[in-house]
Structure 1
Amino acid sequence: MDFLSIDFGAFIAKGGVLVIPILICSVLAFAIFLERLIYYARMKSRGTGLAQSVVRLLAQEKDEEALNTAAQSRSPMGRVLARAIDAKACDRETLETVIVNATEEEVKDLSTHIQTLATIGNIAPLLGLLGTVIGMIKAFMVIQEMGGKVNASVLAGGIWEAMLTTALGLAVALPTMVAHSYLIGRVDRYEARLQSGSVAFIKHIGQQHNRR
């Protein structure tokens, strides 16, 4: 059979009803991956060099301008620094608690929908396996109805149709899990940047307190 001449509409239709949720999973996974890529690209451009700018303004005792710069960036780093500036008059322990909580909230926001990708990656092959089991049950029911007098072509046709859902499930799961791992890596890098900016802020506040 020439692979390029396959009618993929009919090919997929032979997989049974479970092909539909598998295809829905693939569309949903692609949409989530694309949305997160666009979101991260916007956040990266907004937060570049922000921590250094805010610390520099604070060093010049321009607290109000520093707060406005952080707030107007509309970035995870900006929101963390804005909350840190509001709490900079507090003791060191309270300030660190505020920064940690703000960072955790931003990381949670950055991770939005990523767990859904992991779920899709887990259920897609299971849906495919379920489709295969259902297909095999139907094949053996046909064998029983025909009294065991089944030629090889009839049996082979039923089996490959049953296996089709497993192939589709794996085809969806593999790139989905790769996308999930990639996005997790992006979140980890953003978290590291937030922590780096927070350390720079805390270090500056500590130097100010020492001068006093």
Structure 2
Amino acid sequence: MTLLSILLQVDTALNTAAAAAPPAPEKISLFNLLMEGGALMIPLLLCSGIMVYVFVERLMVIRKASAIDPTLMVRIQQAVATGDTSGALAACRNNATPAARVLEKGISRLGKPVDQIERSMENTGRLEVYKLEKNVSVLSTIAGIAPIFGFLGTIAGMIILFFNVQHQGFSLETIAGGIYTKMVTSAAGLIIGLLSYVGYAYLNAQINKAVHGIEATSVEFLDSIQQTNH
């Protein structure tokens, strides 16, 4: 009952503000529609803000991680072939990408059996992939809960609408206007959920692309070590 009372008060306040406003031409305004959505538009707006922040932040990180210097492997192979381990490590540290950090771990293990070097690089690679995937699951969570918030807002609005009908009487215009405004939360929730899902899928595709690049670089490095040992 407390939640219903709060929703009733918010809905009454919004309706009072709308009634006090001067008459306007009959047209749909996005801002007015969002205002008509009621109190549950607040968590939906928070979800949309978090969605945009996480997507942009992760996209920048993933793109930076995917920017591998094409000359890096050549310089490392030349340094390793001449025994310049310090130079190879310095080249990796100057690159500052996941692939470079995986190579740095392999270079630091030179002199040990190849299988040990490979395991060390694999462990480092897993850590780098975890860093790339950090917070990406937030988009998946928003894709799931945003439509639920939207439907909850619509249900709460319908409860308020029929409560008002019971106590204030039936009016076709009131019913029609109340229904379409209360559907705003459902539409907003579905749109936010859809965008979150698309963003989640896109970031996962970019992460897979970066992981394939790391794996290809690691395989090339291990092959060069085996050829050097032979």
Please give the TM-score of this superposition, normalised by the length of structure 1.
0.88
Q: Report the Cα offset of residue 51 of structure 1.
A: 3.0
Structure 1 stretches (4+) deviating beyond 6 angstroms?
none
Amino acid at match of 2:121: I
**CA 1:52–1:15: 2 relative to 1, 3 Å:** same
2:186 maps to 1:166: yes
2:209 maps to 1:189: yes
The Cα offsets for residues 132-152 of structure 1, whole Å up to 9 and x where unpaired, read as 111111122223324xx4122
Residue 170 of structure 2 aligns to a residue in which SS?
Answer: coil
- Could you tell me how far apart the structure 1 residues matched to 2:66 and 2:82 are? 26
Q: Which is further off, 69-78 or 33-42? A: 33-42
Of residues 99, 102, 122, the one that matches 2:144 is 122
Identical residues among aligned pairs (%): 29
The Cα offsets for residues 133-186 of structure 1, whole Å up to 9 and x where unpaired, read as 11111122223324xx41222211221122110001111111221111111111
Please give the TM-score of this superposition, normalised by the length of structure 2.
0.82
Residue 35 of structure 1 corresponds to: 57
Q: Report the Cα offset of residue 8 of structure 1.
A: 3.0
Q: Report the Cα offset of residue 52 of structure 1.
A: 3.7
- Could you tell me how far apart the structure 1 residues matched to 2:73 and 2:94 are? 13
Residue 41 of structure 2 corresponds to: 19
In structure 2, list runs of 5 or more residues that go unmatched: 1-24
Of residues 220, 224, 228, the one that matches 1:200 is 220
2:129 maps to 1:73: no
- Could you tell me how far apart the structure 2 residues matched to 1:187 and 1:52 are? 25
Amino acid at match of 1:171: I
Q: Report the Cα offset of residue 7 of structure 1.
A: 3.5
- Could you tell me how far apart the structure 1 residues matched to 2:115 and 2:224 are? 15
Alignment RMSD: 2.0
Amino acid at match of 1:182: Y
The Cα offsets for residues 10-32 of structure 1, whole Å up to 9 and x where unpaired, read as 32111011101111111111112
Q: Report the Cα offset of residue 189 of structure 1.
A: 0.4
Residue 202 of structure 1 aligns to a residue in which SS?
Answer: helix
In structure 1, list runs of 5 or more residues that go unmatched: none
**CA 1:4–1:112: 2 relative to 1, 3 Å:** farther
Of residues 186, 193, 196, the one that matches 1:176 is 196
**CA 1:51–1:115: 2 relative to 1, 3 Å:** farther
Residue 150 of structure 1 aligns to a residue in which SS?
Answer: coil
Q: Superposition pairs for residues 110-149 of structure 1, below 5 Å?
A: 110-146=132-168, 149=169
Residue 167 of structure 1 aligns to a residue in which SS?
Answer: helix
Q: Report the Cα offset of residue 5 of structure 1.
A: 4.3
- Could you tell me how far apart the structure 1 residues matched to 2:112 and 2:183 are? 63
